[in-house]
Amino acid sequence: MIDVVAAVIKKKNQYLIAQRNRHKHFAYYWEFPGGKVDNDENFENALKREINEELSIEINIRSKITSEKYKDKKIDIKVHYFLCDTLDENIILSEHEDMKWVYKESLFDFKLAPGDAKIINLL
């Protein structure tokens, strides 16, 4: 099992979701951005690094929301979700197809990655 971190970035009652790359597992699904934890990292450092790499922004991690396991034929992961604030407004996508700021009620309108869909009610 691989540890993965995800940033649930909130700004003015909206949440940032990003559309997965067309060449990755769950292509075009929407997700809370993040990525794999390296062997020498704690979850918070991994999340800050991943968000900087993928979105070119700095974040403030407020608290851990939950962890969710997901396994299929291609992956076996445990995703650790953190509620975050963005410290920057100038998002530059390097991994994702698109991004949107959406209200909680609207999150149900998007085809979310399996683990991400499960945590909406915890927000």
Domain residue spans of the chain? 2-122
- Report the C-alpha gap between 75 and 55 in whole angstroms: 23
CATH superfamily of domain region 2-122: Nucleoside Triphosphate Pyrophosphohydrolase (3.90.79.10)
Helical residues (DSSP H) of 1-90, grouped into ranges: 43-55
pLDDT band at 122 (very low <50, low <70, confident <90, very high): confident
- Report the C-alpha gap between 47 and 53 in whole angstroms: 10
* Closest residue by Cα to residue 89 from 58, 46, 122: 58
Q: What is the pLDDT of residue 88?
A: 81
**Predicted TM-score of the model (pTM):** 0.93
- Report the C-alpha gap between 122 and 120 in whole angstroms: 5
Burial of 78 (0-12, 13-18, 19+ CB in 10 A): middle
Render pLDDT for 67-119 as a digit per residue (tens, 0 to 9): 999 988 988 999 999 999 998 889 999 999 999 999 999 999 999 998 898 88
35 HSE (CA, 13 A, CB side): 18
